[in-house]
Amino acid sequence: MSKREYRRRQFLGYVGGLAGAAALAACGATPAAGPAEPGAQERVEAASEVTLEWWEYPMWEGVTGQETVGLSQDDPKRAEFTAADWPNWAAAEFAKDNPGFSAKVETLTWDEGRNKLTVAATTGAGRPHLFLEDGPVIIKFAKVGAMLPVELSAEDQEDFFPGSLQAGSSDGKLWYRPWLAGSRFLLVNRAIFQERGVEDLIPTEGDRLWDFEQFLEAALATTFTRDSGEQVFGYTSHFAHSAAHFWVDSFLWGYGGRIFDETGEKCVINSPECEQGLQLMADMQNKHNVMPPGSAGLQSTNVDTMFYQGQLAMMLGSHGSSRAIRMAKEDGTIPNPDAIDIYPIMFPSKLPDIQPSVYTVFMGFGQFDTGTDVEKATAARFVDFITNTENAKAPLAANLLPCRKSSSDVFEGDEFMLYALQAMNFGHEDTLSPYYDACNRILNPMWQAILSAERTPKEALAEAEERCNDLIAEIQSA
């Protein structure tokens, strides 16, 4: 092999070039963040160019979400539409009244988006000006000093659903402007109930409430083996998923149990009510056998697959289920569309004494404490704009619920979404505890331990309460 010889001048030239590039890159660093100064608002008008960084989850493709309707998953036309279309459209609309304004939209992924935001919040590096997230997550960011508070007009205060404001409030301040909401409930495959001749077991009146005995009766009636040898189960949901609390908690709340006390700062899960809820779950797995074997390790994809293949009569449902199932029918993921006929109902509870409760979620736009005063003031005005009554209807494109009363008239005639909206009334204040997510990290494995008979409900609850309170103390001391 021949050696290539470098001349000294040539080599120093390369080194100099690299050093210059590094120096230029360093000059592009974001200016240090600081509190907004009074009068910054006025300077927005004077500013000629303001570019905001906006991190957004991929909610739907196209501006209205209708652009891709009817296109198959492999249709090349789909490539013309992206999840950044609506954010870009909104920025362009805002720029009409605010010349010089632009937004640099970055679409996060659902898997890693929160990690990325978390790194930005905790390290302070590379923070965008605004982003979309869950209320309690934004509160978590606020607690580490990463957020700017939001001021609402009296009119807005009245128009947003109270739950949505509560979900983003902490220490007497609101940390986001609510934009979209979601609710959880039970999803029934009526086709399996019809197949078993027990359709009358499904509650259909009013809020579609039922008690635990009725629920268990329905689960038992829909657990059977088809002539083909195919096994059908009455109920299950994902335990292995980090979001098992989306549905497990409803079993605790349905017996009157609570995870946190009224302050939301102390775990009180070790109660007879919670034990009852968990005992029912354990019995459904190990005694009544209405849940598939090994439900402790079930992922959400396992559950969806069973439901789509007509092997599961009831599972966790949400505001997005209707759309997801419609799309699965269209693209063939559901092999036999006639075998799936979804109907939303409420989680069971100890009626008539105890009303059911469900997990609700509220997402909104938060503003990181970053950028110049002009950028901060512009970002605040822009967030006002994208959460106004008209723009609050945008998430309907993804079958999500609006957070404004004035935007909720759009579900006329859509029974499924009307019920999803109805279910928002059954939210539980446990979900607003700042420690809810952190404690679920401890609680989910406990549910798995109960299902796999490694722990009794009583043992698991005692251990869970102690560990949750230790964790809360650790977080508070930090």
Partner 1 sequence: MVSSMAETWRRHREAYLLLALPLAIIVIFRVLTVGGAFWISVVRYGPRGAPFVGLANYAATLQDDLFWRSMFNTLYYSVGVVPLGIAVSLGLSQLIFNLGRRTQMFYKAAFYLPMVVSGVVMSLVWLWMFDPVYGLLNWLFQQVGLEPLLWLRSPKTAMPSLILMAVATGQGASIVLLTASMGSIPDPLYESARVDGANGWHEFRHITVPLLRPTILYLLIMGTIGSFQVFNSIYVMTSGGPYHATETAVYLLYTYAFQMLNFSRASAIGVILAVILALVSALQYRFVARGSVEY
Cβ neighbours of residue 464 under 8 Å, at least 6 residues apart?
Answer: 267, 269, 270, 442, 443, 446
Contact range with partner 1 by CB under 8 A, out of 55-63, 81-89, 119-127, 354-362: 119-127
Q: Which two tokens stand for residue 108?
A: 């996060």
> Contact with partner 1 (CB under 8 A): which of 455, 457, 461, 472?
455
CA quadruple 159, 160, 165, 166: dihedral sign: positive
Categorise residue 208: left if φ over 0, alpha if ψ from -120 to 50, beta otherwise: left
Contact range with partner 1 by CB under 8 A, out of 88-96, 162-170, 295-303, 376-384: 295-303
> Contact with partner 1 (CB under 8 A): which of 301, 336, 425, 476?
301
What are the Cα distances from residue 319, in Å, to 291, 303, 337, 428? 24, 17, 20, 17
Amino acid type, 344:
P
Contact range with partner 1 by CB under 8 A, out of 68-76, 83-91, 250-258, 290-298: 290-298
Q: From 292, 324, 279, 276, select the one nearest 219 (Cα to Cα).
A: 292
Residues forming beta bridges with residue 248, ordered by sequence position: none
> Contact with partner 1 (CB under 8 A): which of 164, 166, 302, 387?
302
Q: What is the Cα–Cα distance from 183 to 347, expressed in whole angstroms?
A: 12
Closest approach of Cβ 416 to partner 1, in Å? 28
Q: Judged by CB, which is closer to partner 1: 113, or 348? A: 113
Closest approach of Cβ 460 to partner 1, in Å? 9
Q: Judged by CB, which is closer to partner 1: 124, or 337? A: 124
> Contact with partner 1 (CB under 8 A): which of 122, 157, 389, 476?
122
Q: From 445, 456, 476, select the one nearest 270 (Cα to Cα).
A: 456
DSSP state of 98: S
Site for partner 1 in 129-148 (CB under 8 A): 140, 144-146
Q: Judged by CB, which is closer to partner 1: 127, or 208? A: 127
Q: Which two tokens stand for residue 294?
A: 């090994």
Q: Is 280 helix (H, G, I), strand (E, B) or coil?
A: helix
Q: What is the Cα–Cα distance from 359 to 146, expressed in whole angstroms?
A: 26
Closest approach of Cβ 297 to partner 1, in Å? 3
Backbone φ and ψ for 349, nearest 5 degrees, come out as -155, 175
Q: What is the Cα–Cα distance from 201 to 215, expressed in whole angstroms?
A: 8
> Contact with partner 1 (CB under 8 A): which of 43, 78, 104, 114?
114
Site for partner 1 in 307-366 (CB under 8 A): 311
Q: Is 179 helix (H, G, I), strand (E, B) or coil?
A: strand
> Contact with partner 1 (CB under 8 A): which of 30, 66, 299, 425?
299
Do the beta carbons of residue 366 and residue 147 sit within 8 Å? yes
> Contact with partner 1 (CB under 8 A): which of 13, 293, 332, 335?
293
> Contact with partner 1 (CB under 8 A): which of 171, 390, 415, 454?
454
Contact range with partner 1 by CB under 8 A, out of 42-50, 176-184, 297-305, 405-413: 297-305
Residue 458, exposed/middle/buried by CB under 10 A (0-12, 13-18, 19+)? middle
> Contact with partner 1 (CB under 8 A): which of 108, 280, 296, 423?
296
Q: Judged by CB, which is closer to partner 1: 38, or 229? A: 229
Closest approach of Cβ 451 to partner 1, in Å? 7
Q: Spell out the alpha helix ranges (H) of 363-405.
A: 373-386
Residue 291, exposed/middle/buried by CB under 10 A (0-12, 13-18, 19+)? buried
Long-range contacts of 453-459 (CB under 8 A, 24+ apart): 453/282, 453/286, 456/282, 457/274, 457/275, 457/278, 457/279, 457/282, 458/275
Q: Judged by CB, which is closer to partner 1: 230, or 390? A: 230
Q: What is the Cα–Cα distance from 220 to 186, expressed in whole angstroms?
A: 16
Closest approach of Cβ 296 to partner 1, in Å? 4
Q: Judged by CB, which is closer to partner 1: 209, or 232? A: 232
> Contact with partner 1 (CB under 8 A): which of 11, 332, 335, 336?
11
> Counting contacts by CB under 8 A, is residue 30 touching partner 1?
no
> Counting contacts by CB under 8 A, is residue 19 touching partner 1?
no
Prior bond to 149 cis, omega within 30? Answer: no
Cβ count near 206 (within 10 Å): 8
Site for partner 1 in 434-453 (CB under 8 A): 437-438, 441, 444-446, 448-449, 451-452
Site for partner 1 in 216-275 (CB under 8 A): 231, 239-242
Q: From 365, 314, 317, 284, select the one nearest 117 (Cα to Cα).
A: 365
> Contact with partner 1 (CB under 8 A): which of 295, 318, 357, 399?
295
Contact range with partner 1 by CB under 8 A, out of 88-96, 99-107, 121-129, 419-427: 121-129
Closest approach of Cβ 121 to partner 1, in Å? 7
Q: Judged by CB, which is closer to partner 1: 361, or 421? A: 361
Residues that bind partner 1 (CB under 8 A): 6, 8, 11, 15, 18, 114-115, 118, 121-124, 140, 144-146, 231, 239-242, 292-299, 301-302, 306, 311, 437-438, 441, 444-446, 448-449, 451-452, 454-455, 474, 478
